[in-house]
Amino acid sequence: QLSSTFYSTTCPNVSSIVRGVIQQALQSDARIAASLIRLHFHDCFVNGCDGSLLLDQGGNITLSEKNAAPNNNSARGFNVVDNIKTSLENSCPGVVSCADILALAAEASVSLGGGPSWTVLLGRRDGLIANQSGANTSIPAPTETLANVTAKFAAVGLNITDLVALSGAHTFGRAQCRFFNQRLFNFSGTGSPDPTLNSSYLATLQQNCPQNGSGNTLNNLDPSSPDTFDNNYFQNLLNNQGLLQTDQELFSTNGSATISIVNNFANNQTAFFQAFAQSMINMGNISPLTGSQGEIRLDCKKVNGS
């Protein structure tokens, strides 16, 4: 059972310390807020929100989550998590878990980006293991069908409103060409691009991600406001300007119950912000370790004593 007051006597300034480090990091990296919220997502979908994503490979950690396909050369921001941890160890030694740092960093990142604030529930403890195969199977891939992605959310207790709201995190941050270039030239062996791609947006993307070009080139997930947390992502979907296949599918899958949710969020930013905050709380509640389970890691990259 998580609680909003978990650190109120042991680390009363925890939220402002987390926020301060992120604010500092944003000065030199406009993308870092997006990168940090993604870490919380990739942590929570694998063994619950237990900081398992943060463990480096080595010693008893034979196969890290960092090295799993959805994270390798993709998940970033680990150095900022370490800076937050160092700052917290200076103020409240041995008290705040790395799993809670990710939950707090996600909220601060959204709010600093112009999005909603919410009360973060706290008291998660850090796990002792990583689950690389779990990361490979439980985190949705951008080429999956909507039915598959929906099933992966349902597997952790999240419904289609959560799926649509949380996909709205693609209102900021970047994606490498390799995650969507299957849409640009020969979609599903048709010899043509994905028909749900807006034609001028398609031309831009083909230019930035040419055939035989580097798959690592970065693109804004939300071309209309790349670093701002707003509802433009949903307006983009209405214009066939979703970057990932899984983004556009939320609106372009015939008969899907997600369509009316996208329409609502595109027309009503307040409704999106409210739903997003609730869905972040729902995601943060996925199977936390509490009480005497796990530990409070002293270094987010390593299990204590290893």
Q: Which residues bind ligand HEM (CB under 6 A)?
A: 31, 34-35, 37-38, 41, 74, 76, 140-142, 149, 166-167, 169-170, 172-176, 179, 221, 244, 246
HSE-up (13 A, CA, CB side) for residue 104: 29
On whether 46 is known to bind a ligand per the annotation, the reply is yes
On whether 43 is known to bind a ligand per the annotation, the reply is yes
> 231: closest CA among 276, 265, 259?
265
> Does the active-site annotation cover 40?
no
Q: Among residues 236 and 246, whose Cβ is nearest to ligand HEM? A: 246
Interface characters, 245-264, with Ca ion (x: CB under 5 A) = --------------------
- Min dist. Cβ of residue 220 to Ca ion (A): 9
Q: Which of the listed partners (Ca ion, ligand HEM, none) does 207 bind, with a CB threshold of 5 to 8 Å by partner kind?
A: none
Q: How remote is the C-alpha of 76 from its chain's centroid?
A: 11
Provide the token pair at 131: 């689950």
Binds Ca ion by CB under 5 A, chosen from 214, 228, 267, 306: 228
Q: Among residues 18 and 163, whose Cβ is nearest to ligand HEM? A: 163
Catalytic residue among 42, 66, 76, 297: 42
Provide the token pair at 79: 């150095």
Q: How remote is the C-alpha of 68 from its chain's centroid?
A: 15
- Rounded distance, CA 82 to CA 268, Å? 37
Q: Which of the listed partners (ligand HEM, Ca ion, none) does 18 bind, with a CB threshold of 5 to 8 Å by partner kind?
A: none
On whether 48 is known to bind a ligand per the annotation, the reply is yes
On whether 40 is known to bind a ligand per the annotation, the reply is no
On whether 170 is known to bind a ligand per the annotation, the reply is yes
Could you tell me the sign of the dihedral formed by the alpha carbons of 180, 184, 188, 189, in that order? Answer: negative
- Rounded distance, CA 212 to CA 214, Å? 7
Could you tell me the sign of the dihedral formed by the alpha carbons of 24, 76, 63, 293, in that order? Answer: positive
> What is the SS3 assignment for 159?
coil
Residues annotated catalytic, as ranges? 42
Q: Which residues are annotated binding-site positions?
A: 43, 46, 48, 50, 52, 65, 140, 170-171, 222, 230
Q: Residue numbers of the site for Ca ion (CB under 5 A)?
A: 171, 222, 225, 228, 230, 232
